[in-house]
Amino acid sequence: MMSEVAEKPANSSQTATEAETLESCEQLDLEEEEICFQDIDMLIDQGVSINDIKCLKDIGINTIKGLQMTVRKILRSLKGFDEAKIDKIMEACCKVSVNSGFVTALEVMDQRKEIFKLQTGSSNLDNLLGGGIESMAITEVFGEFGTGKTQLSHTLCVTAQIPDSNGYLGAHKHSRPHRLKPIAERFNLDPTSVLENVLYARAYTSEHQYQLLGNIGAKLHEEPGIFKLLIVDSVMALFRVDFSGRAELAERQQKLGRTMSKLQKLSEEFGVAVLVTNQITSDLGEAEAAKPVGGNVLAHSSTTRVALKKGKGNRRVASVYDSPDLEESEASFAITKGGIDDPEH
């Protein structure tokens, strides 16, 4: 083959052209990535001091888009940040931002082409979700204990790495990283590499959980385009412990709203898929079926909500509880040694 190419200059020219095209495409991808992740250091050229940039990074603001997503009340809480300084920073932000504000519906449709779906391990569940867990959105799964919420989280941490993506796992005490090994083996992946590609942190309070989200933002910024998945398992567990009774309900919902808003901003800013698991509650004396906790704050924050319930044996049933574009339907899946899978018929 080598001699044949050497003898035919046309083939050499074609090969060179293909190489140039590939290099051009790689360069274009790099430029698009730089546009998506505009570093906040760009503001230095617009007259914003290095100390002010450091203050912004300390609270998890690392990109121009991240700054645009931050309300002035938070910026005013920073030392030395008055209205005049904030105005100056926001003006500089507008000058360098690629986001001009209003765009056409056609442009939005083009932007949505960048959205990807992560496979759940079950084709039935994937079909129910329109292809899998969607990026740049929050997917909430809820159900009683043993319905497969954490097993789904574990499986997604593996499937997110097919063929070369990383996952981020932020979970509570029910997370069992050793469960990833048999799941990795099922998908013919190296268990050690899979475990190395999953970051894990345990939150002990709702405030600690919010702080960890700030740390995640910094990590996503350090390695743009690498991480594909962010999981919070479970999103309400710590809030239910930290706040009790109706007297603290308003404060709980306000802080829950901040957490969900942070998750939504991370998903949009860095293009990752966000999965949150949730618990259920039922009102005594009422015939109404169990419903997810978190009230309207969680209901309005989640893009897609999926209810999980137990079936016979290892079978589980997932149903679309609320979604802007999915039909209200249900699908069966199974919990196996290799994670979430289709049930045997």
- pLDDT per residue as tens digits for the range 160-201: 998 744 444 444 445 567 888 999 999 999 999 999 999 999
pLDDT at 15: 44
What's the alpha-carbon Rg for the chain, to the nearest Å?
23
Fold of 111-341: Rossmann fold (3.40.50)
Strand partners, 63: 39
The answer to whether 79 and 52 are in contact (CB under 8 A) is: no
β-pairing, 166-171 with 227-233? Answer: parallel
Among 25, 19, 26, smallest CA distance to 5 is for 19
CA 14 to chain centre: 41
How many CB atoms are closer than 10 A to CB 297?
18
Question: How far apart (Å, rounded) are the C-alpha atoms in residues 80 and 86?
Answer: 10
pLDDT at 35: 44
The answer to whether 333 and 147 are in contact (CB under 8 A) is: no
Strand partners, 289: none
- Where do the domains of the chain lie? 2-36, 40-96, 111-341
CA 316 to chain centre: 24
Question: How far apart (Å, rounded) are the C-alpha atoms in residues 274 and 298?
Answer: 14
Fold of 40-96: DNA polymerase; domain 1 (1.10.150)
pLDDT at 191: 92
Q: Could you report the per-residue pLDDT of 215-267, keeping only the tens digit for each?
A: 888 888 888 888 999 999 989 999 999 998 899 999 999 999 999 999 999 99
Full-model pTM = 0.78
Among 213, 222, 32, smallest CA distance to 110 is for 32
Place of tokens 């044996």: 313
pLDDT at 175: 59
Question: How far apart (Å, rounded) are the C-alpha atoms in residues 159 and 65?
Answer: 29
Q: pLDDT per position in the chain (345 positions), as tens?
A: 333 333 333 444 444 454 444 444 444 444 444 445 688 889 998 899 999 999 998 888 888 888 888 889 989 999 999 999 999 999 998 888 876 677 788 887 887 788 899 999 999 999 999 999 999 999 999 999 999 999 999 999 999 998 744 444 444 445 567 888 999 999 999 999 999 999 999 999 999 999 899 888 888 888 888 899 999 998 999 999 999 889 999 999 999 999 999 999 999 889 999 999 999 986 655 545 678 999 999 999 999 999 999 999 999 999 999 999 999 999 999 999 999 999 987
Among 144, 168, 175, smallest CA distance to 263 is for 168
The answer to whether 75 and 81 are in contact (CB under 8 A) is: yes
User: Kindly report the CA angle at 310 between 306 and 314, in degrees rounded to 5?
Assistant: 115
Half-sphere exposure of 5 (CA within 13 A, CB side): 8
The answer to whether 75 and 86 are in contact (CB under 8 A) is: yes
pLDDT at 252: 94
pLDDT at 108: 78
β-pairing, 137-142 with 304-310? Answer: parallel
